Structure 1
Amino acid sequence: MLLDTYQAKGLLTVTLVNGQTSDAGVYAYRGDLVLKEGKLREGTTNTNDRNPPEALLTHSALLIENDKIKFINGLLPELSLLPVLVEKYKDDLAEDCVALIYVENIGKGMQVVLEGVTYKLIPYKQGLVWNELLDELYIEKNDLKGQSAEDKVATAYREAKAYKPNTEIVSFEEAEKNTIVVVKEAAVGAV
């Protein structure tokens, strides 16, 4: 099973959901997906003994069927990581994969086709990515009532299949021209 393979390779972190939906053979995952593994710790030969990941698709949601990713969602801090995501996981993406990716450093929504998959890119400002996704897809909390965490991901996938943003399809090079500088406010803790 694909998620078991990812788990064994240390590609799943901060896991919130990892299990089968009510549909046999369909699995859902929510958590962080590793894009670039950390370097091996000094003096080790164990490939799982690594420093923390260098890059993640954070707050991701995946739906897997027949060991192929049918739905992928999450947050990239920079558009430059999209080709890294594609390169790492392209062999596992279904031909009809639905990809809705939030990106912190883009100024407007757009779509980019890479390796045959259309990535619908959505500017991200703040908030929980899962909640932002539900809002974007017009899924009400009542629509999810009584569902397992895995089935909630399946519901998001079903709605995402019909999602047609009013954004243009551009080349990745054109998309890079629409990046912005992200300024984060410093958080102040207790004194």
Structure 2
Amino acid sequence: MTATLALKEIDDTALARLESEGRLLNPLHKALTGVPGRVGFRGELALRFAPKLADEARPPELLCQQAMAVANVGEKHLPFFAGYLLSFEYLKDVAEVLGDTLSAGGKYFLFCDNIDLSKKYQVPYKGAMFYVLPILESTVYNEMLDLLYLEKNDLKKKDTAGKLDAVANAALKFDVTFDVITYEEGLALMGPVRNPNENRPV
């Protein structure tokens, strides 16, 4: 089950449009997983593209980083998606980009850099429910392990696909509820957006 095979399989999943639009970037994994009929992606999701100048390929203006997703062959909706956002505001961009791949029954997790570290929310948007959480453990993968009570040591021997399956399988069973707020309420509550380039060596 190679990545080449998965790229054929991806055409019949909810990831197909995102792939054709060139949004699935820098993949650690973009292939079949250990679950039959499941394609997994772990990488970055392009949210806004920079204007093209002549033939110059420019990096996207906005990314959802550390993205994780699974899609099932023959199904049009993503059952699971998670990612990191510098600002809660960009939830709107994620929802618009994912668009018709979202469903009311899907499990979608966004870890935002500028929400209160003590708060966790559920935010309905475009017919889907997003879990919005602070980023405490530095990576989306570690955050998901913590949220889902998965032991990192238990997953160490698994490959990237196996780790993604373990997280997705647990996420699909996640049924904890948090305070429900609207997107507009979230905008009012969010803090300033950190400059990711500050304090970096030049």
Fold similarity call, TM over 0.5: yes
Is 1:138 matched up with 2:145?
no
The normalised TM-score by structure 1 is 0.85
The normalised TM-score by structure 2 is 0.81
Within 5 Å, which residues of 2 pair with 1:42-57?
A: 43-44=54-55, 50-57=57-64
- CA–CA distance in structure 2, aligned partners of residues 177 and 89 of structure 1: 24
Within 5 Å, which residues of 2 pair with 1:1-191?
A: 1=11, 2=13, 3=15, 5-41=17-53, 43-44=54-55, 50-65=57-72, 66-107=75-116, 108-125=119-136, 127-183=138-194, 186-187=198-199, 189=201
Query: Over aligned residues, Cα RMSD in angstroms?
Result: 2.3
- CA–CA distance in structure 1, aligned partners of residues 175 and 44 of structure 2: 26
Tell me the SS of whatever aligns to 1:87.
helix
- CA–CA distance in structure 2, aligned partners of residues 110 and 16 of structure 1: 29
Tell me the SS of whatever aligns to 2:100.
helix
Deviations 1:42-100 (A, max 9, x none): x24xxxx5421011110000011124311000011111111111112121224421001
- CA–CA distance in structure 1, aligned partners of residues 185 and 200 of structure 2: 37
- CA–CA distance in structure 2, aligned partners of residues 188 and 57 of structure 1: 21
Q: Which moved more, 1:99-108 or 1:163-172?
A: 163-172
Structure with greater proportional strand content? 1
**Shift, 1:141, TM fit:** 2.0
Name structure 1 gaps, 5 residues minimum.
Answer: none
Number of residue-to-residue matches in the alignment: 185
Aligned residues with identical type, % of pairs: 25
